[in-house]
Amino acid sequence: MNTDRISRLEAKVAGLKESMPAHSLKPGMMAELEKLEEQLQTERKRLGKVSFNSYAIVACGTLSPELNYLKRDGFLDAKKILFTRPGRHENYRELESSLIKQIRKGKEYAENIIVVYGGKYCYVNSNDPCRSIDDVIAEQGRGIYRINASHCVDMLAGRNERDAIARGKGESACWLTPGWLMFRNQVYEDRDKGFAVENFPAHKYTEGAIVLDGIGFFDSYSVEHAEEVLDFSDWMGLPVKAHKISLNRFKNLLLDIVKHHQ
């Protein structure tokens, strides 16, 4: 069956990528990888499975856990996945500079780019409020497409799903992704307790902080880094818990881009 062949090819591609040295890459290994990826793309087309082989992905580092998971799982076969530093949404100058740099780098690997950044909350230019992240992307040329979501949490679970998770109280939960917890020192860089009190009022977030866990992350992390999680919870002034989700919404948002531009 084609699905079995696809699984075998995905395993071979993943294994070969894993064995590649960081330096002194042998030409034969790259040729073998390109051959396997071409075979994989052909089989996916036969089965009607969408391939990301003609794309590079540029994403906020906060979503690196999910994107790397999808890569290991064989769903993402993008030519390259590049990340910006997590939590730059409050520093629009650094974010814009880093985003442009990574898009240009991505163009060295693929003609098309998928930008995994939200449209509403991920880029706020205080100097020019009318300037959006889509303006920044449009200035970089053709073949660059942004995922259709307002922010990273929205990529993992839409408003209705979040409302269901919080038993009808979606607006009363402070939603997090694994990356917000893993990279909290970068996301909340130089933020003191006063910032937390102002931004995470307990009377507003009566459901606490909920980590949307689509990668089986929180159970082991909360044990291995128990003190850090407790410190983070104490700093926020909110209990931190997780809710397991699928990555189907995220996968479909990525697929929509490729399908729309085939």
The yes-or-no verdict on residue 40 having pLDDT over 60 is yes
Residue-averaged pLDDT of the chain: 87
**Same domain for 129 and 254?**
yes
Q: Which residue has the higher pLDDT, 126 or 149?
A: 149
Place of tokens 């906020």: 60
What is the model's pLDDT at position 146? 96
Please state, as a whole number, how many other Cβ atoms lie within 10 Å of the Cβ of residue 154.
Answer: 22
Torsion of the alpha carbons at 185, 190, 191 and 193, rounded to the nearest 10? 100
The yes-or-no verdict on residue 1 having pLDDT over 50 is no
Amino acid at 172: S
**Same domain for 224 and 147?**
no
Q: Read off the pLDDT of residues 186-202 as tens digits, 9 standing for 90 and up.
A: 878 878 888 888 888 88
Residue 87 maps to which CATH number? Answer: 3.40.50
The yes-or-no verdict on residue 29 having pLDDT over 50 is yes
**Same domain for 220 and 135?**
no
The yes-or-no verdict on residue 99 having pLDDT over 80 is yes
**Same domain for 238 and 167?**
yes
The yes-or-no verdict on residue 62 having pLDDT over 90 is yes
The yes-or-no verdict on residue 4 having pLDDT over 80 is no
**Same domain for 142 and 257?**
yes
Q: Read off the pLDDT of residues 63-92 as tens digits, 9 standing for 90 and up.
A: 999 999 999 888 899 999 999 998 777 777
Average pLDDT over residues 10-31: 71
Count: domains in the chain: 3
What is the model's pLDDT at position 47? 56
How far apart, in whole angstroms, are the C-alpha atoms of residue 238 and residue 233? 5
Average pLDDT over residues 239-249: 92
How far apart, in whole angstroms, are the C-alpha atoms of residue 52 and residue 32? 18
**Same domain for 206 and 239?**
yes
pLDDT-based confidence at residue 126 (cuts at 50, 70, 90): confident
**Same domain for 135 and 261?**
yes
- The stretches of the chain forming alpha helices (DSSP H) are 2-19, 27-47, 64-72, 92-106, 133-138, 152-156, 159-165, 178-182, 184-187, 193-199, 218-224, 226-236, 248-260
What is the model's pLDDT at position 187? 79
**Same domain for 32 and 66?**
no
Q: What range does the domain containing 37 cover?
A: 1-48
Average pLDDT over residues 140-161: 94
Q: Read off the pLDDT of residues 213-237 as tens digits, 9 standing for 90 and up.
A: 999 999 999 999 999 999 999 999 9
Q: Read off the pLDDT of residues 42-51 as tens digits, 9 standing for 90 and up.
A: 776 665 677 8
**Same domain for 238 and 163?**
yes
**Angle CA(46)–CA(58)–CA(99) in degrees, nearest 5?**
155
What is the model's pLDDT at position 69? 93
**Same domain for 198 and 237?**
yes
Q: Which two tokens mark 212?
A: 């949307």
**Same domain for 210 and 138?**
no
The yes-or-no verdict on residue 148 having pLDDT over 50 is yes
Average pLDDT over residues 11-21: 74
**Same domain for 63 and 143?**
yes
φ/ψ (deg, to 5) at 207: -90, 0
pLDDT-based confidence at residue 3 (cuts at 50, 70, 90): low
The yes-or-no verdict on residue 12 having pLDDT over 90 is no
Please state, as a whole number, how many other Cβ atoms lie within 10 Å of the Cβ of residue 21.
Answer: 8
Average pLDDT over residues 111-127: 87
What is the model's pLDDT at position 61? 94
